[in-house]
């Protein structure tokens, strides 16, 4: 299909755009909007490139998760917090009869989603809407997918209830949150103190907790996602965890994502890491170093993503 085959809704919820990148224990970089003043100098093209690369690197889990839903025959699907549309296009390919809409607060990311749909030949609508303030006008839908967006909202239980309210009777909500931290490197790299990734995980987990606490309207909640789905009135609440396994030697795309991830760790965790670990990261990120991530033959990616499903009565 040509670029003209994907539809851009003409009445989006009004949104103001702001982005910030977080490196969490699951290594996810976000470009979602949260209702703040936009940065006119922000490089949306670079953010879209990174989010698309991340989505493609992690795409095996999306395919596995959607295999859990092949019994559905959805007429309308929403991908909330779609970014550049990697999962949305997978949804459109899996359910070609459905009307699939990618929803995000950043028009630059939605434009990338439209371009991706055109390249892949799938039908995809895009709609600009703030998350979560723009959710009310989006429903109803038979399947609502939201990939690693809810932890950016202060009241996670509240937004689960909002998403559940978008569902038709018998519709399914699929929320991607949690899983296991990514592993890229052997425990002993041959230089530096062994166990670098475990220390990065601990630092990132601490940073993530601070981010959650500082969100507007932050509400502490036990992150029992099936319990949260049930509290929102959904039934058959369950979780499934899917492996993403890119073995060594790592292909170019995942290797590039590994570089982005470690560069973010070096930048965002510099004040937490000690001098030895900072030096180790510098060496790993040196393109000229034979032991750096661009040249290592033992670089791999092993991670897991958890998807939580609930069904509307």
Q: What is the pLDDT of residues 41-74, one digit of tens each?
A: 788 888 999 999 999 999 999 999 999 999 999 9
Residue 171 has pLDDT above 60, yes or no: yes
Per-residue model confidence (pLDDT) at position 43 = 86
- pLDDT (0 to 100) of residue 44: 86
Mean pLDDT of 27-42: 51
* CA angle in degrees (0–180, nearest 5) for 39-42-46: 160
Instruction: Report the first-to-last Cα separation within the chain, whole angstroms.
Output: 37
Q: What average pLDDT does this structure show over 219-235? A: 98
| Residue 60: exposure state from Cβ atoms within 10 A (0-12, 13-18, ≥19) | middle
Residue 64 and residue 87 in contact, taking contact as beta carbons nearer than 8 Å? no
Mean pLDDT of 253-280: 97
For the chain, how long is the longest CA-to-CA vector?
58
Nearest-5° Cα angle at 225, 221 to 227: 85
Q: 82-128, pLDDT tens digit by residue?
A: 999 999 999 999 999 999 999 999 999 999 999 999 999 999 999 99
Residue 45's pLDDT is what? 87
| Gyration radius of the chain's alpha carbons | 19
Indicate whether 14 pLDDT > 50.
no
Domains of the chain: 3-246+301-311 (3.40.50.150)
């Amino acid at each position: 299909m040509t670029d003209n085959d994907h539809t851009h809704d003409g009445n989006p919820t009004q949104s103001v755009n702001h982005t910030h990148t977080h490196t969490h224990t699951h290594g996810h970089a976000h470009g979602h909007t949260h209702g703040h003043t936009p940065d006119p100098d922000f490089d949306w093209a670079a953010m879209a490139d990174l989010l698309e690369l991340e989505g493609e690197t992690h795409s095996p889990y999306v395919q596995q998760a959607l295999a859990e839903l092949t019994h559905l025959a959805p007429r309308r699907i929403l991908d909330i917090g779609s970014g550049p549309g990697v999962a949305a296009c997978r949804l459109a390919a899996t359910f070609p009869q459905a009307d699939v809409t990618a929803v995000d607060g950043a028009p630059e990311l939605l434009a990338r989603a439209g371009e991706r749909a055109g390249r892949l030949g799938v039908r995809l609508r895009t709609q600009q809407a703030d998350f979560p303030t723009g959710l009310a006008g989006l429903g109803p839908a038979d399947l609502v997918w939201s990939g690693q967006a809810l932890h950016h909202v202060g009241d996670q239980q509240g937004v689960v209830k909002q998403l559940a309210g978008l569902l038709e009777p018998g519709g399914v909500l699929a929320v991607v949150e949690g899983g296991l931290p990514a592993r890229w490197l052997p425990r002993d790299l041959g230089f530096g103190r062994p166990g670098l990734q475990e220390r990065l995980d601990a630092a990132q987990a601490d940073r993530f907790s601070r981010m959650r606490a500082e969100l507007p309207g932050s509400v502490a909640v036990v992150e029992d996602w099936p319990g949260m789905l049930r509290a929102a009135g959904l039934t058959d609440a369950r979780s499934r965890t899917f492996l993403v396994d890119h073995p060594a030697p790592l292909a170019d795309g995942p290797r590039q994502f590994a570089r982005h991830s470690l560069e973010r760790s070096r930048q965002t965790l510099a004040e937490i890491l000690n001098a030895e670990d900072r030096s180790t990261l510098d060496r790993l990120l040196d393109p000229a170093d034979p032991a750096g991530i661009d040249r290592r033959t033992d670089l791999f990616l092993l991670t897991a993503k958890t998807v939580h499903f609930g069904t509307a009565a």
